[in-house]
Protein backbone atom coordinates (compact mmCIF):
# COMPACT_ATOMS: atom_id res chain seq x y z
CA UNK A 1 0.00 0.00 0.00
CA UNK A 2 1.31 3.43 -0.98
CA UNK A 3 0.52 6.18 1.48
CA UNK A 4 0.07 9.83 0.52
CA UNK A 5 -1.38 13.18 1.49
CA UNK A 6 -3.34 15.58 -0.70
CA UNK A 7 -1.44 18.52 -2.16
CA UNK A 8 -2.36 21.52 -4.30
CA UNK A 9 0.62 23.25 -5.97
CA UNK A 10 0.00 26.86 -4.97
CA UNK A 11 2.50 29.64 -4.38
CA UNK A 12 1.99 29.79 -0.61
CA UNK A 13 3.05 26.17 -0.17
CA UNK A 14 6.11 26.75 -2.35
CA UNK A 15 7.11 29.65 -0.12
CA UNK A 16 6.60 27.56 3.02
CA UNK A 17 8.69 24.71 1.66
CA UNK A 18 11.48 27.19 0.92
CA UNK A 19 11.23 28.49 4.47
CA UNK A 20 11.42 24.92 5.78
CA UNK A 21 14.39 24.34 3.44
CA UNK A 22 12.69 21.21 2.15
CA UNK A 23 11.42 19.78 -1.08
CA UNK A 24 7.95 18.26 -1.14
CA UNK A 25 9.57 14.85 -1.38
CA UNK A 26 11.63 15.54 1.76
CA UNK A 27 8.54 16.65 3.70
CA UNK A 28 6.72 13.47 2.67
CA UNK A 29 9.65 11.43 3.95
CA UNK A 30 9.65 13.40 7.21
CA UNK A 31 6.00 12.57 7.93
CA UNK A 32 6.42 8.93 6.91
CA UNK A 33 4.44 8.71 3.67
CA UNK A 34 5.40 7.74 0.12
CA UNK A 35 4.30 10.87 -1.71
CA UNK A 36 1.29 12.97 -2.67
CA UNK A 37 -1.92 12.98 -4.62
CA UNK A 38 -1.67 16.28 -6.47
CA UNK A 39 -4.63 18.39 -7.56
CA UNK A 40 -4.09 19.37 -11.20
CA UNK A 41 -6.37 22.18 -12.37
CA UNK A 42 -4.34 23.45 -15.30
CA UNK A 43 -4.81 23.00 -19.03
CA UNK A 44 -1.23 23.62 -20.13
CA UNK A 45 2.00 21.71 -19.57
CA UNK A 46 2.71 22.03 -15.86
CA UNK A 47 5.68 24.34 -15.33
CA UNK A 48 6.16 23.00 -11.80
CA UNK A 49 6.25 19.33 -12.83
CA UNK A 50 10.01 19.07 -12.32
CA UNK A 51 9.54 20.11 -8.66
CA UNK A 52 6.71 17.74 -7.86
CA UNK A 53 6.78 14.69 -10.11
CA UNK A 54 9.27 12.83 -7.90
CA UNK A 55 6.74 12.89 -5.05
CA UNK A 56 3.54 12.59 -7.11
CA UNK A 57 1.90 9.17 -7.09
CA UNK A 58 -1.62 10.19 -8.11
CA UNK A 59 -3.29 13.19 -9.74
CA UNK A 60 -6.76 14.48 -8.97
CA UNK A 61 -8.19 15.91 -12.17
CA UNK A 62 -10.14 19.15 -12.38
CA UNK A 63 -13.84 18.83 -11.63
CA UNK A 64 -17.02 20.82 -12.17
CA UNK A 65 -19.80 20.48 -9.60
CA UNK A 66 -22.49 21.62 -12.08
CA UNK A 67 -22.11 20.18 -15.56
CA UNK A 68 -24.83 17.70 -16.61
CA UNK A 69 -27.20 20.38 -17.93
CA UNK A 70 -24.33 22.00 -19.82
CA UNK A 71 -23.45 18.61 -21.33
CA UNK A 72 -27.10 18.00 -22.25
CA UNK A 73 -27.31 21.49 -23.77
CA UNK A 74 -30.13 22.41 -21.39
CA UNK A 75 -29.65 26.12 -21.87
CA UNK A 76 -32.50 27.33 -19.60
CA UNK A 77 -31.06 25.38 -16.65
CA UNK A 78 -27.54 26.58 -17.40
CA UNK A 79 -28.79 30.17 -17.57
CA UNK A 80 -30.15 29.92 -14.02
CA UNK A 81 -26.64 29.19 -12.75
CA UNK A 82 -24.82 31.37 -15.27
CA UNK A 83 -26.94 34.27 -16.63
CA UNK A 84 -24.10 35.61 -18.79
CA UNK A 85 -22.16 33.76 -21.49
CA UNK A 86 -18.98 35.14 -19.98
CA UNK A 87 -19.82 33.32 -16.74
CA UNK A 88 -20.18 30.05 -18.66
CA UNK A 89 -16.78 30.50 -20.29
CA UNK A 90 -15.18 31.42 -16.97
CA UNK A 91 -16.51 28.26 -15.33
CA UNK A 92 -16.12 25.65 -18.08
CA UNK A 93 -13.36 27.25 -20.11
CA UNK A 94 -15.71 27.04 -23.08
CA UNK A 95 -19.21 28.01 -24.20
CA UNK A 96 -20.01 24.69 -25.91
CA UNK A 97 -19.51 21.02 -25.15
CA UNK A 98 -17.06 20.30 -27.99
CA UNK A 99 -14.66 22.91 -26.65
CA UNK A 100 -15.29 21.81 -23.06
CA UNK A 101 -14.12 18.31 -23.99
CA UNK A 102 -10.94 19.92 -25.30
CA UNK A 103 -10.48 21.59 -21.90
CA UNK A 104 -10.86 18.23 -20.14
CA UNK A 105 -8.36 16.56 -22.48
CA UNK A 106 -5.88 19.37 -21.89
CA UNK A 107 -6.33 19.01 -18.13
CA UNK A 108 -5.59 15.29 -18.37
CA UNK A 109 -2.47 15.99 -20.42
CA UNK A 110 -1.40 18.63 -17.91
CA UNK A 111 -1.85 16.15 -15.07
CA UNK A 112 0.26 13.60 -16.90
CA UNK A 113 3.20 16.03 -16.65
CA UNK A 114 3.57 14.83 -13.05
CA UNK A 115 3.90 11.19 -14.20
CA UNK A 116 1.18 9.75 -11.94
CA UNK A 117 0.29 6.11 -11.53
CA UNK A 118 -3.41 6.98 -11.38
CA UNK A 119 -5.85 9.84 -11.90
CA UNK A 120 -9.06 10.61 -9.98
CA UNK A 121 -12.37 11.66 -11.53
CA UNK A 122 -15.32 12.99 -9.47
CA UNK A 123 -18.73 11.50 -10.30
CA UNK A 124 -21.23 14.01 -8.97
CA UNK A 125 -23.58 16.85 -9.86
CA UNK A 126 -25.09 19.75 -7.93
CA UNK A 127 -25.76 23.37 -8.77
CA UNK A 128 -25.06 26.08 -6.21
CA UNK A 129 -28.81 26.31 -5.57
CA UNK A 130 -29.18 22.54 -5.12
CA UNK A 131 -26.25 22.46 -2.69
CA UNK A 132 -28.32 24.69 -0.37
CA UNK A 133 -31.83 23.34 -0.98
CA UNK A 134 -30.76 19.67 -1.27
CA UNK A 135 -33.46 19.33 -3.96
CA UNK A 136 -31.62 17.89 -6.91
CA UNK A 137 -32.51 17.99 -10.58
CA UNK A 138 -30.73 14.80 -11.61
CA UNK A 139 -30.76 11.23 -10.33
CA UNK A 140 -27.70 9.10 -9.59
CA UNK A 141 -28.41 7.16 -12.79
CA UNK A 142 -28.55 10.31 -14.95
CA UNK A 143 -25.23 11.57 -13.55
CA UNK A 144 -23.53 8.21 -14.01
CA UNK A 145 -24.74 7.86 -17.60
CA UNK A 146 -23.59 11.39 -18.42
CA UNK A 147 -20.21 10.62 -16.81
CA UNK A 148 -19.81 7.54 -18.98
CA UNK A 149 -20.49 9.63 -22.08
CA UNK A 150 -18.01 12.38 -21.17
CA UNK A 151 -15.24 10.05 -20.02
CA UNK A 152 -15.44 7.92 -23.16
CA UNK A 153 -15.11 11.08 -25.27
CA UNK A 154 -11.78 12.03 -23.66
CA UNK A 155 -10.17 8.65 -22.98
CA UNK A 156 -7.74 8.98 -25.87
CA UNK A 157 -5.86 11.58 -23.79
CA UNK A 158 -5.18 9.07 -21.00
CA UNK A 159 -2.52 6.40 -21.66
CA UNK A 160 -3.74 2.85 -21.17
CA UNK A 161 -1.18 2.15 -18.42
CA UNK A 162 -2.64 4.87 -16.15
CA UNK A 163 -5.31 3.76 -13.69
CA UNK A 164 -8.56 5.77 -13.80
CA UNK A 165 -10.30 5.92 -10.41
CA UNK A 166 -13.83 7.24 -9.91
CA UNK A 167 -14.52 9.03 -6.63
CA UNK A 168 -17.78 8.93 -4.70
CA UNK A 169 -19.53 12.03 -3.33
CA UNK A 170 -22.71 12.70 -1.37
CA UNK A 171 -24.52 14.58 -4.14
CA UNK A 172 -26.21 12.72 -7.02
CA UNK A 173 -23.84 10.46 -8.91
CA UNK A 174 -21.56 7.81 -7.47
CA UNK A 175 -22.61 7.34 -3.85
CA UNK A 176 -21.62 3.63 -3.65
CA UNK A 177 -24.91 2.63 -2.02
CA UNK A 178 -26.31 0.97 -5.16
CA UNK A 179 -24.04 -1.78 -6.53
CA UNK A 180 -25.92 -1.91 -9.85
CA UNK A 181 -24.97 1.72 -10.53
CA UNK A 182 -21.34 1.08 -9.60
CA UNK A 183 -21.29 -1.82 -12.04
CA UNK A 184 -23.01 0.31 -14.70
CA UNK A 185 -20.34 2.99 -14.40
CA UNK A 186 -17.35 0.66 -14.47
CA UNK A 187 -18.69 -1.49 -17.31
CA UNK A 188 -19.64 1.56 -19.36
CA UNK A 189 -16.10 2.94 -19.54
CA UNK A 190 -14.23 1.79 -22.63
CA UNK A 191 -10.95 0.85 -20.96
CA UNK A 192 -9.61 -1.90 -18.73
CA UNK A 193 -7.73 0.05 -16.05
CA UNK A 194 -10.62 1.50 -14.08
CA UNK A 195 -11.50 1.41 -10.41
CA UNK A 196 -12.89 3.31 -7.44
CA UNK A 197 -11.45 5.87 -5.06
CA UNK A 198 -13.43 5.48 -1.85
CA UNK A 199 -13.65 8.82 -0.03
CA UNK A 200 -14.58 7.97 3.55
CA UNK A 201 -15.71 11.52 4.36
CA UNK A 202 -17.91 11.78 1.29
CA UNK A 203 -19.50 8.44 2.07
CA UNK A 204 -20.13 9.51 5.66
CA UNK A 205 -21.90 12.62 4.35
CA UNK A 206 -24.61 10.38 2.87
CA UNK A 207 -25.75 9.38 6.39
CA UNK A 208 -26.65 12.20 8.76
CA UNK A 209 -27.35 9.74 11.59
CA UNK A 210 -23.64 9.08 12.15
CA UNK A 211 -22.37 10.55 15.43
CA UNK A 212 -19.05 8.87 16.21
CA UNK A 213 -16.13 7.56 14.20
CA UNK A 214 -17.22 4.05 15.14
CA UNK A 215 -20.65 4.75 13.67
CA UNK A 216 -18.91 5.89 10.50
CA UNK A 217 -16.72 2.80 10.27
CA UNK A 218 -19.60 0.38 10.85
CA UNK A 219 -21.74 2.15 8.24
CA UNK A 220 -18.99 2.15 5.64
CA UNK A 221 -18.07 -1.47 6.29
CA UNK A 222 -21.69 -2.36 5.51
CA UNK A 223 -21.57 -0.33 2.28
CA UNK A 224 -18.32 -2.00 1.19
CA UNK A 225 -19.62 -5.48 1.98
CA UNK A 226 -22.81 -4.74 0.07
CA UNK A 227 -20.71 -4.13 -3.05
CA UNK A 228 -19.91 -7.84 -3.16
CA UNK A 229 -17.40 -8.67 -5.88
CA UNK A 230 -17.26 -4.99 -6.89
CA UNK A 231 -15.19 -4.37 -3.75
CA UNK A 232 -12.13 -5.49 -5.70
CA UNK A 233 -12.40 -2.30 -7.77
CA UNK A 234 -11.72 -0.09 -4.72
CA UNK A 235 -8.07 0.55 -5.49
CA UNK A 236 -7.68 3.70 -3.42
CA UNK A 237 -9.03 5.49 -0.36
CA UNK A 238 -9.28 9.17 0.53
CA UNK A 239 -9.09 8.78 4.29
CA UNK A 240 -10.76 11.45 6.41
CA UNK A 241 -13.52 11.75 8.97
CA UNK A 242 -16.64 13.81 8.31
CA UNK A 243 -19.29 13.74 11.02
CA UNK A 244 -21.57 16.53 9.87
CA UNK A 245 -24.93 15.09 10.82
CA UNK A 246 -25.72 17.90 13.26
CA UNK A 247 -25.29 20.43 10.45
CA UNK A 248 -27.07 18.35 7.82
CA UNK A 249 -30.05 17.83 10.11
CA UNK A 250 -30.47 21.48 11.07
CA UNK A 251 -29.28 23.83 8.34
CA UNK A 252 -32.14 25.58 6.48
CA UNK A 253 -32.87 24.04 3.07
CA UNK A 254 -33.15 27.48 1.54
CA UNK A 255 -31.02 29.97 -0.35
CA UNK A 256 -29.06 32.65 1.47
CA UNK A 257 -30.18 36.23 0.91
CA UNK A 258 -27.16 36.72 -1.31
CA UNK A 259 -25.26 33.89 -2.97
CA UNK A 260 -21.51 34.46 -2.61
CA UNK A 261 -18.44 32.29 -3.02
CA UNK A 262 -17.97 32.68 0.72
CA UNK A 263 -21.29 31.19 1.79
CA UNK A 264 -21.14 28.52 -0.93
CA UNK A 265 -17.75 27.42 0.41
CA UNK A 266 -18.91 27.66 4.03
CA UNK A 267 -21.87 25.39 3.31
CA UNK A 268 -19.66 22.77 1.65
CA UNK A 269 -17.00 22.69 4.38
CA UNK A 270 -19.69 22.45 7.06
CA UNK A 271 -20.81 19.24 5.35
CA UNK A 272 -17.49 17.87 4.13
CA UNK A 273 -15.16 18.13 7.14
CA UNK A 274 -11.93 16.35 6.05
CA UNK A 275 -10.75 15.86 9.62
CA UNK A 276 -8.24 13.23 10.80
CA UNK A 277 -9.48 10.01 12.37
CA UNK A 278 -8.55 9.58 16.03
CA UNK A 279 -10.14 6.18 16.78
CA UNK A 280 -8.09 3.10 15.89
CA UNK A 281 -11.35 1.43 14.86
CA UNK A 282 -10.69 2.93 11.40
CA UNK A 283 -8.22 0.06 10.89
CA UNK A 284 -11.15 -2.30 10.44
CA UNK A 285 -12.38 -0.39 7.39
CA UNK A 286 -8.93 -0.04 5.82
CA UNK A 287 -8.20 -3.72 6.43
CA UNK A 288 -11.51 -4.66 4.80
CA UNK A 289 -10.84 -2.56 1.70
CA UNK A 290 -7.12 -3.36 1.35
CA UNK A 291 -6.38 -0.37 -0.91
CA UNK A 292 -3.32 -0.05 -3.10
CA UNK A 293 -3.33 3.71 -2.53
CA UNK A 294 -4.23 5.44 0.73
CA UNK A 295 -4.46 9.23 0.68
CA UNK A 296 -4.72 11.20 3.92
CA UNK A 297 -7.06 13.78 2.37
CA UNK A 298 -7.28 16.46 5.05
CA UNK A 299 -7.97 20.17 5.33
CA UNK A 300 -4.83 21.98 6.44
CA UNK A 301 -3.65 25.58 6.60
CA UNK A 302 0.07 24.96 6.35
CA UNK A 303 2.64 22.18 6.59
CA UNK A 304 2.91 22.42 10.37
CA UNK A 305 -0.87 21.93 10.59
CA UNK A 306 -0.68 19.05 8.13
CA UNK A 307 2.15 17.40 10.04
CA UNK A 308 0.11 17.37 13.23
CA UNK A 309 -3.01 16.01 11.55
CA UNK A 310 -1.07 13.33 9.71
CA UNK A 311 0.52 12.25 13.00
CA UNK A 312 -2.92 12.02 14.59
CA UNK A 313 -4.47 9.96 11.78
CA UNK A 314 -1.46 7.70 11.25
CA UNK A 315 -1.35 6.91 14.97
CA UNK A 316 -5.01 5.86 14.80
CA UNK A 317 -4.23 3.76 11.77
CA UNK A 318 -0.96 2.10 12.68
CA UNK A 319 -0.08 2.42 16.38
Report the C-alpha gap between 136 and 157 in whole angstroms: 31
Q: For the chain, state the CA radius of gyration.
A: 19
Q: Angle 133-183-2 (CA atoms, 0-180°, nearest 5)?
A: 90
pLDDT recorded at residue 239: 98
pLDDT in tens, the chain (319 residues): 999 999 999 888 989 999 999 999 999 999 999 999 999 998 887 778 888 999 999 999 999 999 999 999 999 999 999 999 999 999 999 999 999 999 999 999 999 999 999 999 999 999 999 999 999 999 999 999 999 999 999 999 999 999 999 999 999 999 999 999 999 999 999 999 999 999 999 999 999 999 999 999 999 999 999 999 999 999 999 999 999 999 999 999 999 888 898 999 999 999 999 999 999 999 999 999 999 999 999 999 999 999 999 999 999 999 8
pLDDT recorded at residue 257: 86
Which of 271, 272, 285 lies closest to 313 in space, CA to CA? 285
Four-residue CA torsion sign, 120, 141, 287, 247:
positive
pLDDT recorded at residue 232: 98
Report the C-alpha gap between 37 and 220 in whole angstroms: 23
Report the C-alpha gap between 272 and 243 in whole angstroms: 8
Structural domains of the chain in order of their starting residue, each with its CATH number: 2-318 (3.20.20.150)
pLDDT recorded at residue 259: 87
Amino acid sequence: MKEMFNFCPIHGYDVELEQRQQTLEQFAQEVGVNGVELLAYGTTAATDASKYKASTIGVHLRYWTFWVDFWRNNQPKVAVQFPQTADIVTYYGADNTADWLKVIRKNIISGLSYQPQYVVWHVSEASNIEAFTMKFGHSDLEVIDATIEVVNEVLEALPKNILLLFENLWWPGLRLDQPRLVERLLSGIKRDKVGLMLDTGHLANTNSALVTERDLVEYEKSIVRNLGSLKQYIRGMHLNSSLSGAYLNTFPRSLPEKMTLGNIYENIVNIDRHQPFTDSFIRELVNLVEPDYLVHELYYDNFADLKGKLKQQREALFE
